Structure 1
Amino acid sequence: MASSVGLALCGQALVVRGGSRFLATTTENSDDDSLFIYDCCIAEKKSQENKGEDGQPVEKGSDIILASTFSKSGSYFALTDDSKRLILFHTKPWQCLSVRIVVRRCTALTFTASEEKVLVADKSGDVYSFSVLEPHGCGNLELGHLSMLLDVAVSPDDYFILTADRDEKIRVSWALAPHNIESFCLGHTEFVSRIFVVPDHPELLLSSSGDCTLRLWDYRHGRELHCCHLTDLQDPAGPGGDKRFAASRITYWSRDSCVALLCDCVPVVYIFQLDAPRQQLAYKQQLSFQHRVWDIAFEESQGLWVLQDCQEAPLILCRPVDSQWQSVPENAVVTKVCALLCRNWAMLEGSAGQDSGFSSLYKATFDNVTTYLKKKEERLQQQQRKKRHKNPAPGPNGQTKKARSGEASWSCSS
């Protein structure tokens, strides 16, 4: 499930969202303080958005942004909100192109590599496509699962659509004929929270799950190549050491084949090295933070940006120094962007106590055997009490209490 706070980077364009608003700026080291702010509360509302499939009125959404993403080139930006709207923007310069209605609340979205379509995954398990070139066109149903979808991705050649669901599956479908399934990537034992196709190794897929693993796949053949158990990397005595957690973000830095993983209940970022020739992941280190980390994203020219719940320092920039990632001292770029966020902190502070929603997705477990044995023991004890009541225990001379009382009354009458 998407968090209500998020960070997106493409080139030097940076977007931070919180609640119903987002702000867009640049990480360029210049005096340009240009800022674009958009609030979904003022977005176009249509009458049909308050009607369900049966035509009956449904509860109005809250306008909170559920998911957002850039296109590959950064020319477009799209978001979906709790009022079941898909809003498309052009970024050069920033302007809203369209507001369209989606059938159900969405969990994830992505642009195709050609930037001709936006693919939107929803809670019912469906993926719809919406045209970018015709920004007011209706959506087309592409494929469906029998379970809630949590993420959607496309291969760099736009040949495959990859979907991850609550029922532990990753499905690889043909983009031109989505009813044709190329493969399934099976192995996770809990919901699949995130999937990520490696840009410079397009045959490889990274996935994360509520089973606390990060896995590497040859997704076309549904073959697992490597599995990292995150619980083995976590200090049991540290924060979150005894919790279940799932990744809320997988991000990749092609300059050093570096993978960064952010988990929803753990205040650390895990750093891995992708060894593509050997088809494996090597754990490098973890970055710990004093405040809750909302989101992370790599910028190719700068490093790893970390968005955290701290008004004094909402953004931290991390870079590798002597092969070890660490936060860099404040510079002009970090200072500029942090100042913009501080002036607009109201859109973030309302989301401080909200979680990503993964906790509700874990499989419920029932210990039926213990319950059965307990009830069985109660029935046996009840049966024993009934038997003792019907057949009282014999006295010292082998007589029951009832018989002895009868003798006593006979002796008196005689």
Structure 2
Amino acid sequence: MKAEPYDVLIVGAGAAGMMCAIEAGRRGRRVLVVDHAARPGEKIRISGGGRCNFTNTGTTPANFLGENPRFATSALKRFSQRDFIAMVDRAGIAWHEKPLGQLFCDDSAKQIVRMLTDAMRAAGVTLKLSTGVDAVERSGEGWAATLSDGARVTAASLVVASGGKSIPKMGATGWGYDLARRHGLRVTETRPALVPLTFEAGLLEQLSPLAGVAVDVAATNVTTERERATFREAMLFTHRGLSGPAVLQISSYWREGEAITLAMAPDRDVYAELKAAKEANGKQAVHTALSQILPRRLAESVAARHEVAGKLAEIGDKRLKSLAESVNGWTVKPVGSEGYRTAEVTLGGVATEGLDQQTMQANSVPRLFLIGEVVDITGWLGGYNFQWAWSSGWAAGQAC
């Protein structure tokens, strides 16, 4: 069978791959996008509760992790959140802003997918779904690939937009990492990120009655080896441990064997409030007073775990202060995370030292480009990872 020639073969019809295809197609390149999924943009479709947190108004390199987060600077500046918002506006998609600069579709994430597939179609891009890549090798100065449907194709440029390992039920694999290694590129340690954290059985037994309780917290990782970070958002108790935005954020910084510290009433002087409540009405139970600060079930649990019970008037100031400190200084050591099964992204990936920040091309492998989640650039929760996908895809689309 004769190989069909293309200028660009893009593996992955996610956010980064489709953005790259649009830009390359608009430059007159003959582009083929392949994806083993039955539909394009599956992560887009399920994100943001089905409304897609498609970018963040405050995106800067400071919102990213990796060996060298500043690698992202060039792409983020050249195709910024403002550029993607303009693209969304041109498509007539209504959106709204939530706290912390997060932007969501008013209607459905499917609108973003449709915008991208329509733009690919207009740019003359060929999209093949339910199609994997069985083999891809160098062929002269370009590439030759055999697809899972038996077709053979050649391309001057190969773009790896295959994502990371997160959410394997959607078909996520380490294919992109394996290809990078085969061509001499270093891949940093990969691990689940933006993922719920889990407790050991004993602690879980104590805290499982709190499943479903949410509280605004300041979560900080306890480490002497890595960067310390603090996130102030909601936390959710689950049947396995902790989740919610604050915990997902800190999970990217946490490592096994380390603890996290949670302030469950940040900016409040819990001791002063409990002491005032004691002076105003010493007959009320301590957990009742604490429930004016924390959700009632949580207040009862905190008081019980610290064995502080009875009327406020019966509790000395020293014990009251210790109880207050436990509210804003609860240090807990998770045993693990829920893993790639529920992780929103993969931390780590193809080392940026081997890539050109202007074009996303591998320095040592001409015409090989790597974009999006497969690269060692990982954003915070809140639209940052999508913006990296748009920006890195756009940058590669100008050069592939």
TM-score of Structure 1 vs Structure 2, range by shorter chain: under 0.3
- Report the structure number with the largest CA radius of gyration: 1
* TM-score after normalising by structure 1: 0.23
Q: Which has the higher helix share?
A: 2
* TM-score after normalising by structure 2: 0.23
